Structure 1
Amino acid sequence: MLSSLSIAHGGAHMQRTATRNRHMGWRYIVAAAALAGTLGLGGCNKSQKANYDAAVAENTELRERLGEAQASLTEVAEQNRELTAANQALSEENRRLADQLAESRQNANPFAGQVNQGDGREVVITIAGDVLFKPGQVTISNEGKRTLDRVAQQLNTQYAGRTIRIEGYTDADPIRKSGWKSNEHLSAERALAVEAYLVSKGVDNNRIYSAAFGPSNPKSTKAASRRVEIVILAN
């Protein structure tokens, strides 16, 4: 009987011990899981911190590069302004030199063309059409006006009282772009423009008239064929 009680008591004790061990095992498992979670969160925080630091570094680098790019753009804009100013100054200088060149040509030859003295009865002053007009136009250029100013001075002094015929000539190329009906029409308008300008400079309109010859009587080149001849007739 005593042996049976001892066995029973021992079995109960072993059962309680096993139960306690199971409870402790579960506590160890829960603690281990909590520790693992804590360690995992720590690793996650470190990864996020590294990503943040990398993003900050990249942002700083991009800001620096943006600042450099903006500085370069400012420098380029300033260079463009300087180049624009230099180009304007150069253009003005070129115009001034062109005017001086035209003036020097006129001083060397008052008519900027050819003066042919005939047999004493006629004087022919030939002025290149390219000096007087732009291609296809009948408006006298500034250089052409300066040339005709000298011609008018001579007509009013040296050749005062003599009859003057203004002859207009062109090259033989057909007219395609300008609005003139023919080369004869263009040469007539150019001769009339020269006549009107000379009259405005004091030449008596009663002793001057115009004639148009178009491409007739060509010269050795097209440029030479485009011309105005001022013929001073013998009285």
Structure 2
Amino acid sequence: MHTNRMRSRARQAALILLTLACGLGPTGCACMHNSHASDDLDALRAENLELRQTLESTRQALEASDSQRSSLESRLADAGSVSAAATASAAPIGANTSFSQIEGVETVAGGGSITVRVPGDILFDSGKADLKKGARSTLTEIAQVIKSDYADSTVRIGGHTDKDPIRRSRWKDNLELSSQRAMAVQRHLRKQGVDAANMYSAGYGSLRPRATKKLSRRVEIEVVLNE
């Protein structure tokens, strides 16, 4: 009898445990399921936030790139305009000044000045710095234009030679010869009434050659335009 009573109590305890397990089982599973769902939702929210931040950064970078491109395009356009203007101003100006009416000279403009190029063969004999008779009339015409149109302007006179070394001359080298030629032109312009205080002369020898030897032998009279 005692054994039967113990077996009955064991069955009751088992039934109680089974009942508790059945009651708690579904609730426990539901809680675990809800916990996993909450974690997944938090992860999705974090990923969504990260994607939004990346999208915003990309948008800002694109806007900055567009702004930089517009700025570069504007600068390129401005540079093109300046280059075109500089090219136009450096071109031979032909009949745009009174200097162009003087026979045998070339007139060019650029950098705020007008330069009259007088061929050396018109002005001097080979290896000499004395003006030819025919050169005086050309320089006199140049002096008249300076006095009438550019009386207050600075006048720079530069002598130039070719690269051939001097063989028969009183001057020791091309640099000295070109300096003497520039001074000879300056003296004649002064005699014709050009203000001596506005004139400067220098010799460059063969340091600034042109395309040919003949073109390299020259005197350049540069009139600096007053602003």
Aligned-partner SS, 2:204: strand
Matches within 5 A, 1:81-120: 109-110=101-102, 112-119=104-111
The one-letter amino acid of 1:215's match is S
Using a 3 Å threshold, how does the CA distance of structure 1 residues 154 and 111 change in structure 2: closer, same or farther?
farther
User: Is structure 2 residue 150 aligned with structure 1 residue 159?
Assistant: yes
Deviation digits for residues 99-147 of structure 1 (CA, Å, limit 9, x no counterpart): xxxxxxxx9841521110214x100000000000111111111111010
CA RMSD of aligned residues (A): 1.5
The one-letter amino acid of 2:127's match is G
Question: 2 CA distance for matches of 1:140 and 1:172?
Answer: 21
Identity fraction in percent:
39
Correspondence for 1:212: 203
The one-letter amino acid of 1:110's match is I
Matched residues, number: 128
Aligned-partner SS, 1:185: helix
Question: 2 CA distance for matches of 1:170 and 1:116?
Answer: 19
Question: 2 CA distance for matches of 1:139 and 1:185?
Answer: 14
Q: Give the TM-score of the pair, scaled to structure 1.
A: 0.53
Matches within 5 A, 1:27-46: none
Question: 1 CA distance for matches of 2:103 and 2:182?
Answer: 16
Question: 2 CA distance for matches of 1:196 and 1:110?
Answer: 20
Matches within 5 A, 1:1-235: 109-110=101-102, 112-119=104-111, 121-235=112-226
Question: 1 CA distance for matches of 2:225 and 2:138?
Answer: 23
Q: Give the TM-score of the pair, scaled to structure 2.
A: 0.54
Question: 2 CA distance for matches of 1:134 and 1:177?
Answer: 12
Larger radius of gyration: 1
The structural deviation recorded for 1:170 is 0.3
Structure 1 residue ranges, 4+ long, deviating more than 2 angstroms after superposition: none
Q: Which runs of 5+ in 1 are unaligned?
A: 1-106
Aligned-partner SS, 1:209: strand
